[in-house]
Amino acid sequence: MIKVFLNFLHYEKRYSSHTLISYQNDLNQLQSFLASNYPETPIEAANHAIIREWIISLSESGLREKTINRKLVTLRSLYKFLLKKGVVASNPVSKFTNLKTSKNLPQFIREQDLMDILDKNPEEDDFMEKRDILVMEMLYGTGIRLSELIELKESDIDLDQNSIKVLGKRNKERIIPIARPLAILIKNYIFMKNDAFSGNANAYLIVSNKGSKSYPMMIQRIVKKCLTATAIDKKSPHILRHTYATHLLERGADLNAVKDLLGHQSLAATQVYTHNSLGKIKKVFDQAHPKA
C-alpha cells in the first residue's frame, strides 16, 4: 500500500521528488521499527500506542522536534489515504499533536564585519569579482530571497527611481528601494556584463561565468566564499536577508515597513527580528527614558 500511496502523491497530488523521497524515508523508518519490535504488525495495522512508542524512540535518539513533527505529517497523510481507501477503520495519528519546538532566533552578521567584506575593492577589470560583490550587495541591500535574486532581470531594475521590482512567494509583486551606491554598482556591472559577453548577455541580472542564468548552488558558493572570515555558523544567502532586517530594525525602521520590504504575509514572521534588536532597544531606553 505504501507504493500505491506514494504513486498517489506523485501523480495526483503532484508532490515534488524531494518531498516524495522524504515521505518514503519516513515510512521506511516506521517499517524498520515495526520489523524490529512488532514483526507481525504491518504498517496498516499499527495503532496509536505503537506509533506513540515510535515517536518516543525518535525523541530519545536525539532527533529534533521539527523533524519528528514532519514525520507526523507523513503519517497523517498516509492514514488519511488508507482511511479513504477503506484499508483502515480509523486514523491512529488523528489525536497526536505536534511536539513543541524551540524557536531559534535568526542569525545575523555584525554591521562592521559585513562592511569589512563589502568595502573591499575588486579588481577593476575582473567581471567575476564584480559579480560576486554585487551578489552580496543585492542580498544585503534589498533583503531579497535567493530565488528572487536568481529570477531578477535587468528589466526589473529602475535606475532612475533607484528601485527593483521583485516577484515573491505566491506571485506577489513588491517594489524595493535601493541605495544610490548599489544603483551605481548595478549600472557598472551591467555595462561590464554586456562587454564581457559581447552584447549578448543574458536578460537576468546575475549570470554565471559563461553568461547563462545563475542557479542556487552558484549563489550559495559565492556567499560562502565571501563570508569565510565571519564567525557566523551557517554562511548562506538567507543570513544576509536576516542581517538586512535586523540592521534596519536596529536603526529604527518601522516594523510594518520591514514586513513589506521582506514580502512577509504576516507581521508575526517579521517580529522574530525584534528579538535580535533587543540589546539596541534597551540601550536606547537606558539613554532616553527619565526613569532609566
Q: Is 70 one of the catalytic residues?
A: no
Q: How confident is the model at residue 248 (pLDDT cuts 50, 70, 90)?
A: very high
> Which one from 241, 242, 247, 259 is the annotated catalytic residue?
241
Domain with CATH 1.10.150 in the chain: 2-85
> Which one from 70, 213, 264, 275 is the annotated catalytic residue?
264
Domain with CATH 1.10.443.10 in the chain: 111-287
> Which one from 48, 80, 238, 275 is the annotated catalytic residue?
238
CB atoms near residue 43 (< 10 Å): 21
Question: Domain 111-287 is classified in which CATH homologous superfamily?
Answer: Intergrase catalytic core (1.10.443.10)
Task: Quote the DSSP letter at residue 209.
Answer: T
Q: Is 145 one of the catalytic residues?
A: yes
Q: Is 264 one of the catalytic residues?
A: yes
Q: Which of 93-102, 129-138, 152-161, 273-282 has the lowest mean pLDDT?
A: 273-282
- pLDDT computed for residue 265 by the predictor: 87
- pLDDT computed for residue 13 by the predictor: 87
Residue ranges in 110-236 assigned as alpha helix (H): 111-118, 127-142, 146-151, 180-196, 216-226
pLDDT in tens, 60-81: 888 888 889 999 999 999 999 9
pLDDT in tens, 16-28: 888 899 999 999 9
- Between CA 105 and CA 276 the distance in angstroms is 7
Q: Which of 7-11, 69-73, 106-110 has the lowest mean pLDDT?
A: 106-110
Look up the CATH number of domain 2-85: 1.10.150
Q: pTM for the full model?
A: 0.64
Average pLDDT over residues 220-242: 90
Give me the torsion for CA of 248, 249, 251, 252, rounded to 10°: 120
Q: Is 169 one of the catalytic residues?
A: yes
CB 137 within 8 A of CB 182: yes
